[in-house]
Amino acid sequence: MNFVTHNVTLIPGDGIGPEVAEATARAIDACGVKIDWNRVEVTADIIRATGESIPAAAVESLMVTHLGLKGPVTTPVGGGFQSVNVALRKRFDLYANIRPVKSLHGLKTRFDDLDINMVIFRENTEDLYSGLEHEVVNDVVTGLKVITRTASIKIANAAFKYAKLHGRKKVTAIHKANIMKKADGLFLKCCREVAEMYPQITYNELIVDNASMQLVSRPEQFDVLLLPNLYGDIISDLAAGLVGGLGVVPGANIGPDCAVFESVHGSAPDIAGKGLANPTALMLSAVMMLEHVNEDAAAQQLQKAVEAVYREGKHLTHDVGGTANTNEFTDAVIAQLK
């Protein structure tokens, strides 16, 4: 363990966010890492009331800490305010969205006989998430898909650098350049350029529809996946489904001088406040955060504790076939830490 105190902005979010955030903070504290939590409220209600896409307190805190652990925040569908997640990613240039998707032994899924272990690199700041939509005339709307060389090279570099550092063998770029020849064509061109600098890593390309089919039929073939924003968003949820669902898949948003760790799942309004939320995804996001700040021992301790609770199988939450509530699961993880 390091003896430094880490300043972390904790954004519990809304829906199940506060439940999984408190559970995760409790587990991290039990690892013995010194964290000074700066809790900041960011909820759909606050955004609606203030009209700020990211509440100023969150921006100010992240400007000081450069490190965030974040629960989900509800975004209205088909109107209303801009997603706070998209706004945060743009504001702090959190260009790399990294989502490891790994089988948890002991967890019953349709694919539990396979050893799935892939890492998804999703470009996080552009593509159809540019928010540039325009109603040309009544009932005709266009949306701009923005792909730039700068952002594509950055995410490709991040994926290959990670692959090299972690002994990964293959990077697969996923695209639809047969149809979007210019936009996805540019993305692929950038991926190929970066791939050439890493001859020791196998590089291949798959069209997104074929990639989706192959992810379901032969998921064990994938290692590192490299995608523009929209395909990355969709494929991440698909991949989460292979290893037990949204409740168990972590994520990180990394920029040049700020990183925000959050799970793939949303605010799950259907189960909010009922004690049913599975905090695994945010706990595993916290593992990534601890690695990011060189607290490797604590990261491993927490990862192993979560894995042990799954292997034992006695304190799992409802979404993964158990009967435990959020607190009982968290207590079981903390008991493993001790």
> Is 274 one of the annotated active-site residues of the chain?
no
Query: Is the Cβ of residue 68 or residue 72 nearer to ligand NAI in the bound state?
Result: 72
Coil, helix or strand at residue 283: helix
- Shortest Cβ 195–ligand NAI spacing (Å): 30
For residues 32 and 80, which CB has a smaller minimum distance to ligand NAI in the complex? 80
Residues 6+ away with beta carbon under 8 Å from 9:
38, 40, 58, 61, 62, 65, 67, 68, 69
* Rounded Cα gap, residues 44 and 51, in angstroms: 10
- State the first-to-last Cα distance of the chain, in angstroms, to the nearest integer: 15
DSSP string, 14-67: STTHHHHHHHHHHHHHHTT--EEEEE----HHHHHHH--SS-HHHHHHHHHH-E
Catalytic residue among 70, 90, 154, 176: 176
Q: Other CB atoms closer than 10 Å to residue 275's CB: what's the count? A: 15
Closer residue to ligand NAI (CB): 4 or 49: 49
User: Dihedrals φ, ψ of 202, to 5°?
Assistant: -70, 135
Question: Of all residues in the chain, what percent are helix, strand and coil, respectively (each to 5)?
Answer: 45, 20, 35
- Parallel/antiparallel/unpaired status of strands 259-262 and 67-70: parallel
Q: Which of 93, 112, 237, 331 is an active site residue? A: 237
The one catalytic residue among 127, 184, 233, 319: 233
45, 115, 209, 296: which is the annotated catalytic residue?
209
Q: Which residue's C-beta sits nearest to ligand NAI?
A: 266
- Catalytic residue, chosen from 70, 90, 129, 203, is 129
Q: Least separation, in Å, of the C-beta of 49 and ligand NAI? A: 17
Residues that bind ligand NAI (CB under 6 A): 16, 20, 72-75, 85, 246-247, 262, 265-271, 277-278, 281, 319
Q: Which is nearer to ligand NAI, 172 or 228 (CB)?
A: 228
Taking the least distance from each CB to ligand NAI, the nearer of 171 and 239 is 239
Could you tell me the smallest distance in angstroms from the CB atom of residue 80 to ligand NAI? 10
CB of 266 to ligand NAI, least distance (A): 2
Site of tokens 């605010």: 267
36: annotated active-site residue = no
Least CB distance to ligand NAI at residue 72 (A): 3
Cα 314 to chain centroid distance, Å, stands at: 27
Residue 208 CB, shortest distance to ligand NAI, in Å, is: 20
Q: How far apart are CA 25 and CA 69, in angstroms?
A: 9
Taking the least distance from each CB to ligand NAI, the nearer of 156 and 271 is 271
Q: Name the residue nearer to ligand NAI (CB basis): 9 or 157.
A: 9
Cα 227 vs. chain centroid, distance in angstroms?
14
Whole-number minimum distance, CB 77 to ligand NAI, in Å?
7
CB 311 within 8 A of CB 105: yes
* 209 a catalytic residue: yes
Q: Kind of pairing, strands 67-70 and 6-11?
A: parallel
Residues annotated as catalytic are: 129, 176, 209, 233, 237
